[in-house]
Structure 1
Amino acid sequence: MTTSVVSGGTRGIGRELSLRLAALGHRVIALYRGDEDAARQTVRAGDGRIEALRCDLARPDEIRAVCARITDAHGAPGVLVNNAGVNRDRPFLSMTGEDWDTVLATNLSGPFHLSRALAPTMVAAGGGSIVNIASTTALRPRPDGANYCASKAGLLQLTKCMALELAPHIRVNALLPGFTDTEEVTERYRLDDPDRRAAVLESIPRGRLGTARDMADALEFLVTARSGYVTGQQLIVDGGHFMG
């Protein structure tokens, strides 16, 4: 049985990614930071294939400890999904050093430390697939998001460097969701305002928000043999909103 590790794997898009991998027959280790109720619900929904482990991706010591626990219990994972992320939106001139450091630590340094801890075991076991969950704001800036946009842009370059150096054993790709119908996106972009939501929908050629299932479909492609010749790439899943 393939073991998959999904950071931020119990809420939002990450929950759907965990459930999809479980449905594909994987043993899923879903990492989470603090929401115990969401973790319990995800484990229950996983029909015995999901285990939730607490880990703050901004703390390298916690990452090392949880990775040792995973590999001791299950061996090398075949799939790693770096999905955990936080945002602290503020205007650039109001943004504090803590706002910057917290977002970069989780969104960029977290994937580095998690991948660095698990990649050697993956290589030794014959390889696997790493998928970094970025964002279309890695390519196109938005107001009040200098820290978040910079973290996701850095993640794209990290993806390419990892793909280059971990080849031919491990494929590394980035999945870039656009506007996705989650609680976090609704709050960040004020999509509970009908006028705001209508304006966003008008800007998306497909005429709707993405769903977590859309992102899981893309992940399924990136971690299966159907993408066996794909590495170092950016898969944008946003209904045509960004065409760069």
Structure 2
Amino acid sequence: MSRPTAVVSGGTKGIGLSFTRRLVKLGYQVVALYRSDEAASEAAVAEFGPALSTVRVDLTDGDAVTLAADEILARHGIPTVLVNNAGRNIDRPFLELSHEDWRQVVDTNLSGVFYLTRALAPAMLDGGEQGSIVNIGATTGIRPRINGANYCASKAGLLQLTKCLALELAPRIRVNCLIPGMTETRELVERFNLTDQDARAEVVAGIPRGRIGTTEDIADALEFLVGQQSGYLTGQKLIVDGGQFMW
């Protein structure tokens, strides 16, 4: 039997790579989209072999996304799972944010989800299987932070877009938002200086579960959201943060 298809944007490194790894394990043929890191793409293909295909595309370019989606549909058929994971973060004080700083972040984190979902959802609606779309949000889409107006606004918008899609794509497609908390990735380690044990201890002190999350923790949540266990769940946000915020 052929594998069902799953599409993961930003699926060749970080949390996205863990999503790819989990979906392959679950029996999916994964198509991972990436923006520019050829080395990460090649490493992922080497790891997963024929179970993974990669497509290079700039998600801020609506026309390019449409072409990439056409390629995916032609080569792999209609996906049953779409994970909108790709994200961009450019921190600046609000009064120092340039037009480009704003555009790159909002266009990637919000418009990119719109472009990719718009390109694939019609086929998913016409397909014979129930579909699941999971948008990857951020806690800063709920609670703001200093120097992140562009990022926070894009992730707040993603929460509302998730709800609108859940309404309009029902009942064929479920749409939910997965919100990771502090998760052990290279970006997080660098951002919070977690190689310093005192800095790490200060972060962990604010997490009731007593540890920073792993990418596997987030992949566990993704497995739930794309599986039948969550078959009656749509339009919701699932926060996986060790109890740090409890929203």
Tell me the residue number matched to 1:100. 102
- 1:116-131 equivalence runs, <5 A: 116-126=118-128, 127-131=130-134
Tell me the residue number matched to 2:198. 195
Distance in 2 (CA, whole Å) between partners of 1:232 and 1:3 is 22
TM-score of the superposed pair, with normalisation by structure 2: 0.96
Pairwise CA distance, 1:190: 2.7
Distance in 2 (CA, whole Å) between partners of 1:173 and 1:242 is 19
Is 1:233 matched up with 2:232?
A: no
Q: Deviations over 1:174-213 (max 9, x none)?
A: 0000000001112223323332221111000011111110
Tell me the residue number matched to 1:174. 177
Partner-residue secondary structure (3-state), 2:8: strand
The answer for unaligned runs of 5 or more in structure 1 is: none
Q: Deviations over 1:58-110 (max 9, x none)?
A: 11121011100000112210000000001000111211111111100000000
Q: Deviations over 1:26-69 (max 9, x none)?
A: 00000001111111111122242111110111111210111000
Distance in 2 (CA, whole Å) between partners of 1:66 and 1:193 is 42
Determine what percentage of the aligned residue pairs are the same residue. Answer: 59
For residue 214 of structure 1, the aligned residue among 217, 225, 228 is: 217
Is 1:62 matched up with 2:64?
A: yes
- 1:152-167 equivalence runs, <5 A: 152-167=155-170
Q: Deviations over 1:89-138 (max 9, x none)?
A: 01112111111111000000000010000000000003300000001111
- 1:75-154 equivalence runs, <5 A: 75-126=77-128, 127-154=130-157
Partner-residue secondary structure (3-state), 1:180: coil
Tell me the residue number matched to 1:10. 12
The amino acid of 2:197's aligned partner reads P
Distance in 2 (CA, whole Å) between partners of 1:188 and 1:113 is 29
Distance in 2 (CA, whole Å) between partners of 1:231 and 1:185 is 29
The answer for unaligned runs of 5 or more in structure 2 is: none
The amino acid of 2:69's aligned partner reads C
Contact 1:19-1:45 at 8 Å conserved across structures: no
Q: Deviations over 1:144-188 (max 9, x none)?
A: 111111111100000000000100000000000000000111222
Partner-residue secondary structure (3-state), 2:79: coil
Residues paired across the two proteins, number: 244
Partner-residue secondary structure (3-state), 1:78: strand
